[in-house]
Every structure is written in C-alpha cells, then in structure tokens.
C-alpha cells in the first residue's frame, strides 16, 4: 500500500512511501541478509496480465524477467 504523506504532513520519499506486509517483510529480510533495495511502482502500472504469447506484463512480468 502506498502512503500519501507522513504524520507531520511532509511528502514521503524512497521506501518510506510504502507500508504493509510486503514493505515490512522486505525491510526485515534486508536487515537480516544485509542488502539494500528500492521499492518502486512498475512502469506500466499493471499487476500483471498474461498475453496471448504467454508473456506477462506489469509486476509479474518484471519479476519474471532475467536480470540484466
């Protein structure tokens, strides 16, 4: 879930813009395993829809892509 602003009314930046189970889990895993990460919205704004050719768009598509 995306937060709009902080408790003091200031705009949030970076990973602080997000709250909820996934954000909490990513933070906890990162602190244990010692890595940095950035949560961001997918470019096309979709969760993921499977196309006729079998590929996915959105969040699912980005997760399935091989790293560059």
Q: pLDDT by residue (tens digit) across 16-48? A: 899 899 899 999 999 999 999 999 888 888 889
Is 80 exceeded by the pLDDT of residue 65? yes
Confidence of residue 4 (pLDDT cuts 50, 70, 90): low
The residue ranking higher by pLDDT, 4 or 13, is 13
Q: Which residues of 12-23 are buried (b: 16+ CB within 10 A; e: fewer)?
A: eeebebbeeeeb
Q: What is the mean pLDDT of residues 48-53?
A: 94
Query: How far is residue 26's CA from residue 46's CA, in Å, rounded to a whole number?
Result: 21
Residue listed under structure tokens 């244990």 = 32
Query: How far is residue 49's CA from residue 9's CA, in Å, rounded to a whole number?
Result: 36
- pLDDT above 70 coverage of the chain, percent: 93
Global confidence as pTM? 0.66
Question: Which ranges of 1-68 does DSSP label H, i.e. alpha helix?
Answer: 21-33, 58-64
Domain boundaries, the chain: 1-37, 42-68
Query: How far is residue 66's CA from residue 58's CA, in Å, rounded to a whole number?
Result: 15
């Amino acid at each position: 879930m995306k937060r709009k602003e902080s408790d003091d009314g200031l705009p949030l930046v970076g990973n602080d813009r997000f709250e909820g189970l996934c954000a909490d889990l990513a933070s906890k895993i990162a602190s244990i395993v010692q890595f940095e990460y950035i949560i961001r919205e997918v470019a096309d704004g979709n969760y993921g829809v499977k196309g006729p050719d079998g590929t996915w768009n959105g969040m699912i598509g980005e997760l399935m892509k091989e790293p560059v």
